[in-house]
Amino acid sequence: MVKKHLKHMSFCVVFLFLNNYCEINNNRLNMLMRKTRALLKGWVYKGWIQKDNLHEVIPGELYRSSQLPPSRLEEIIKNYGIKTIVNLSGDEPHYWVYQEEKKLADQYGIVLFTLKTHALLITPQEQIEDMLAISLTAPLPILVHCFAGSDRTGEMGALYFLANGKNTKEALTQLTPQYGHKKWLFPYKTYLIENLETMYPGLLAYVKRICNHRMSYQELKDVSASELLHLCATK
């Protein structure tokens, strides 16, 4: 039993490393690690860890989950009328689940934003801007997910709350064990939400001022997350 737990722990450490730090300044090695990560995620995905972790946060407005199987994702799209998907695991061309997600988004006319965020690191200002801008402009309802749907997804959920008038205490409800979040393992997610104004002074107010209305699929279908704030400023 102890050996089994150690094996699982070692696997998790390797997975977290590849999932968060695979960008290396060597094209061949970088490609190899990307493919390895995709294979590893595929193995985990097929039943060892992966759960739906689906939650209706605000009915008709915000939903959160883990990376869903294509058939399950299509079911959720139909049941809840999803108009925007936010994938916080980033664009992963070697990961078949991501490719199927992209096809479904195209098929159903859904805006798909991809951001490569990290569970173990403090999210940089540029990505906070992107997530706030999405929260304020993307068509509703929005489905947010990362891989497990616990930590990065919780951060995005908390930012959505802050962008739409909720206070910090309410926002922090998105980073709780209910969703699988482990504060002791990923402390920077809660820390950032608690200290957003101190870390990035005036950012929330600025994005709320610039991104002051929701946009349509036609306006956003070819817009990346990193381009969204600039688009808001030109409207």
Helix axes 96-108, 70-80, angle to 10 degrees: 30
Range of the domain at 43: 2-48
**For residue 40, pLDDT beyond 70:** no
pLDDT beyond 60 at 65: yes
CATH for 73: 3.90.190.10
Are 230 and 156 found together in one domain?
yes
Same domain? For 225 and 130 the reply is yes
Contact between residue 150 and residue 116 where contact means Cβ atoms under 8 Å apart: no
**Angle (deg, nearest 10), helices 2-21 and 27-43:** 130
Last-in-domain residue among 12, 27, 48: 48
Mean pLDDT (whole number) for 32-45: 50
Q: How many domains does the chain have?
A: 2
- The model's pLDDT over 192-218, given as tens digits with 9 standing for 90+, comes to 999 999 999 999 999 999 999 999 999
- pLDDT band for position 93 (cuts 50, 70, 90): low
